[in-house]
Amino acid sequence: MRPAYALARVSAALSLRSQDLIDLGRTQILRLHEKGGVERDIPAHPKLVEYIDAWTAASGLKGSAFLFSAFERRGTVASSRQMTRIDALRMVKRRLGRVGIPDVISNHSFRAKGITEFLANGGSLETAQQLANHADSRTTKLYDRRTTQLELEEIVRIRY
């Protein structure tokens, strides 16, 4: 799953079960299990629904199984327990290493990317704050990477 489509915390994405994608007919809802035991429902992005449907079909997950279960025996056998944040971070770092990308990207990078893309495509800070489940808009602003993108766009104007 791409947490960036839900602006979800990594822990909320990892706690998803197959039953947390709720089909309401014309739309789907994603039930996130946030920190502090809080459950909240957000509309599921159509691409995210595609990814979850493909994953559940390929993996054979049913009912109350975690979408992202931990593995036993060096990644060969899925367990019934959920993947931890540390497990997910290790997985991201391994994948980055395999394709030769520096491991500066972390699980949190996907959340920042989602918030940045939402804002860059005309979304409001208030809505981003609500989607990210931040109590304060200043926290949401910390995830906004548009100024970094702008600096790079400007610096490449230097040509010789």
pLDDT at 1: 44
44-95: pLDDT as tens digits? 999 999 998 898 888 887 777 888 888 776 666 667 788 888 988 988 898 8
Taking a C-beta distance cutoff of 8 angstroms, is the pair 146, 116 a contact? yes
Q: Tell me the chain's radius of gyration from C-alpha atoms.
A: 17
User: Could you say which DSSP state residue 83 is in?
Assistant: P
- Say if residue 31's pLDDT is above 90: yes
- Say if residue 15's pLDDT is above 70: yes
pTM across the whole model: 0.76
List the structure tokens of 77.
Answer: 């056998």
pLDDT at 124: 94
Q: Which helix (H) or strand (E) holds 34?
A: none
